[in-house]
Amino acid sequence: MTCVEQDKLGQAFEDAFEVLRQHSTGDLQYLPDYKNYLALINHHPHVKGNSSCYGVLPTEEPVYNWRTVINSAVDFYFEGNIHQSLQNITENQLVQPTVLQQKGGKGRKKLRLFEYLHKSLCNPEMVSCFQWVDITKGIFQFVSKNKDKLAELWGKTKGNRKTMTYQKMARALRNYRRSGEITKIWRKLTYHFSEAILQRLSPSYFLGKDIYYSQCVQPDQEYLSLNNWNANYTYTYANYHALNHHDC
């Protein structure tokens, strides 16, 4: 991203915030998120968000939701990206290679549901099915409309006889409560990876990075209205993840 382009994006944000200032009901305490977002882009100019990610998501938030404004700005800047719906993704892109990973060279281990979910959460193609709410705390949320699609893919990955549904997958998730690997939190369709699972599955370099917000969403906010932000956020993270891996 050149300086001129950064200026343009910055200007788009400023314009968007000016609109927000004129219409909001005082939600501007979240301005630091915008700054962090810019910091990420500035610090890693080859990483950029993809506005197309949120084309498939529900748009039920108020017009002047601050995140909507931010995303509008990003969308404006990155215009030209083409919406890629779930229908356009081939099955090969979505279905993970069947089961099994090597473990220390001693035999194979079955792919577990939480591993599949965590892996899929880092796949930008899956934002229409579920997404991070707070990536550093391991909180994620299913998208009501496409949650069964994700379950179906999980079922296919496992090679189940019958079609997997969200209801059945949620039953498996409830079983995780006993082991504590994944717990349900009070929000609709929202779950939480345990610290131990996160440490096991998350890239270690990620956990220490302060460019990621310690909290994407304030507790009293409506998670369901954050799809746009999270879609872009997830996509940006995925790019960052890939590039970091490459750099290392």
In the complex with DNA, which residue's Cβ is closer, 69 or 94? Answer: 94
| Residue 34 to residue 63: CA distance in whole angstroms | 18
Measure the CA–CA gap between 44 and 40, rounded to whole angstroms. Answer: 6
- Residue selected from 161, 204, 210, 248 as contacting DNA according to rule CB under 7 A: 161
DSSP for 84-153, please give it. Answer: --GGGS-HHHHSPSPS-EE-TTSSEEPPPHHHHHHHHHT-GGGTTTEEEEETTTTEEEE-TTTHHHHHHH
Q: Please report, as residue ranges, which positions from 98 to 127 form the binding site for DNA (by CB under 7 A).
A: 100, 107-110, 112-114
Q: Which is nearer to DNA, 8 or 184 (CB)?
A: 184
Structure tokens that stand for 144 in this block:
């009501």
Who contacts 209 (Cβ-Cβ below 8 Å, separation ≥6)? none
Residue among 53 and 182 whose Cβ is closer to DNA: 182
Interface segment toward DNA; rule CB under 7 A; list 82-90, 179-187, 202-210, 213-221: 179-187
Q: Which of 36, 184, 213, 239 binds DNA (CB under 7 A)?
A: 184
What pairs with residue 235 in β-bridges? none
State the nearest-atom distance from the C-beta of 121 to DNA, in Å.
Answer: 16
Give the interface with DNA as residue ranges (CB under 7 A). Answer: 100, 107-110, 112-114, 144, 147, 154-155, 158-164, 166-172, 174-177, 179, 184, 187-190
